[in-house]
Amino acid sequence: MKKRLPINLAAAVLAIFLLALFTAHPAHASSKTSLVTANGQLAENFTLTMKQTRFPYRGGARIVPKFTLKYKKTTLVEGRDFKFWTTNAKAVGTATLSIRGLGRFQGTCRVPYAIIQRAAKYLSAKVSAPTFKATGKPITPKVTITYKVGNKTVTLKNTRDYQLTYKNNVAPGTAKVIVRYKGNYCGKKALAFTIRTGTLPVKTVLAASAGTVLADSVIDFKNLPAYFRQTRIVEGDAVYDRIIGKSYRENPDIDLSELRYLKVLHRNYKGKIQVGEIVCNVTIAQDLLDIFLELFEVDYQIYSMVLVDAFWTGEGLSTDEASVRANNTSSFNYRRASDSPNLSNHALGKAIDVNPRHNPYVVFGPNGWVTDPYIAYTANETGYIEPETRPYAPHAMTSSDACVQAFKRRGFTWGGDWGGTNLDYQHFDKL
């Protein structure tokens, strides 16, 4: 015989069942409840909880925030009580989560959330290789930048997502590439790579611009003569384009075919190897190559050796003065002499001035020796004038100087040997 529950207990169980049913399935109720108020805000008794409101950019993938929607104490169920969608959810900026009620719920609420730039610390960046061989030219390795979005790898694009700046990327040593992010990414990162020593091809060295400083390790010292070369200057070539209308102009005294362009190596005032260039007459071209090779082998220091055209002022004489002020070693410059209406030997490319700032042209007048009266030196620029004090001055050439001796052995006249009231310590010529 089955036992029956007391009437009061059965009623209580039924009441609990109905309450649970209504709470778990509020959509079964017949009356409609609006999610939002008249101004679009969540209505009273509704609570929306979003675990995260700011999301890093994910390479164009849609970003859907996780959220919980409650009515009073009841958690609503997607697909039965509401549906939702997102807009502008793939790019950096403000995205929107839209929720529309279903069943007993009605109305639509819209909740903004932010998609922010992905920071550098969340990106994996690396150079194409850790070590490169020096070439004398800037080393610019490729950079790869990636990150994971689920099972997908996102790869950033140069110029669109980031920009690269290279530092110390010519000489052997530690170089850097600086990555600066932009667009959907932010921040910057420095990546290091190594440039190792190794001799450079001669043509690479000779292609370097005059003034380029090179490490000793990139020079093949067993083949030094190969770095000292002369070439013809042909109308329309790169050298011609640099000198035409400046140091060289159409004239009755010297033809373009009589000039040669020289590329050499020399030690600068810091003892570093530097690329030099000079234009001179073909008759002294080989002499100059031999002299500069000899001086390089004994580590003789020459401050600068670039074409006078780099100092062009609009006419030859003042250009020469600018070159002297810059302590630049030069030869050809179609101009007149400083103290005469006649052409200078430089106009024929048969004279050369070496380290002119420290080996000035001087004249003897009523008040003694005066540094080059044709250049307006200031008081602190008149050192190393008197012949008797010059042996003690840095980079001042004397009769026993290696440079003076190298020129004299090849038949050049040195301005420091001139007699009378003029001495030109920088000057060598061979007529």
The answer on 236 and 144 residing in a single domain is no
The answer on 128 and 112 residing in a single domain is no
Measured CA to CA, the distance from residue 55 to residue 113 in angstroms comes to: 8
User: Would residue 110 count as lying in a domain?
Assistant: yes
Instruction: Supply the pLDDT for residue 421.
Output: 82
The answer on 58 and 89 residing in a single domain is yes
Q: Where in 43-197 does DSSP place strands (E)?
A: 46-50, 54-56, 67-71, 74-75, 82-87, 93-101, 105-106, 108-116, 118-119, 124-127, 131-133, 143-149, 152-155, 162-167, 173-181, 185-186, 188-196
The answer on 286 and 354 residing in a single domain is yes
The answer on 237 and 124 residing in a single domain is no
The answer on 163 and 87 residing in a single domain is no
Look up the CATH number of the domain holding residue 184. 2.60.40
The answer on 131 and 104 residing in a single domain is no
Instruction: Supply the pLDDT for residue 292.
Output: 98
User: Would residue 310 count as lying in a domain?
Assistant: yes
Q: What is the dihedral of CA 129, 131, 136, 139, to 10 degrees?
A: 30
The residue type of 13 is V
The answer on 412 and 271 residing in a single domain is yes
User: Would residue 390 count as lying in a domain?
Assistant: yes
Phi and psi (nearest 5°) for 369? -75, 135
The answer on 163 and 40 residing in a single domain is no
Measured CA to CA, the distance from residue 38 to residue 107 in angstroms comes to: 10
Pick the last residue of a domain from 176, 196, 216. Answer: 196
The answer on 43 and 182 residing in a single domain is no
Number of domains comprising the chain = 3
Question: Could you report how far apart the first and last alpha carbons of the chain are, in Å?
Answer: 143
Identify the domain containing residue 407 by its residue range: 202-429
Instruction: Supply the pLDDT for residue 6.
Output: 44
Tell me the H-state helices in 133-257. 202-207, 238-243
> What percentage of the chain carries pLDDT values higher than 90?
71
Summarised one tens digit per residue, pLDDT across range 61-103 is: 999 999 999 999 999 999 999 999 999 999 999 999 999 999 9
Least confident stretch, 205-219, 271-285, 374-388: 374-388
User: Would residue 303 count as lying in a domain?
Assistant: yes
* Statement: the pTM of the whole predicted model exceeds 0.75: no
Instruction: Supply the pLDDT for residue 171.
Output: 83
The answer on 296 and 177 residing in a single domain is no
Four-residue CA torsion sign, 389, 395, 400, 404: negative
Summarised one tens digit per residue, pLDDT across range 200-253 is: 889 989 999 999 999 888 899 999 999 999 999 999 999 999 999 999 999 999
The answer on 306 and 161 residing in a single domain is no
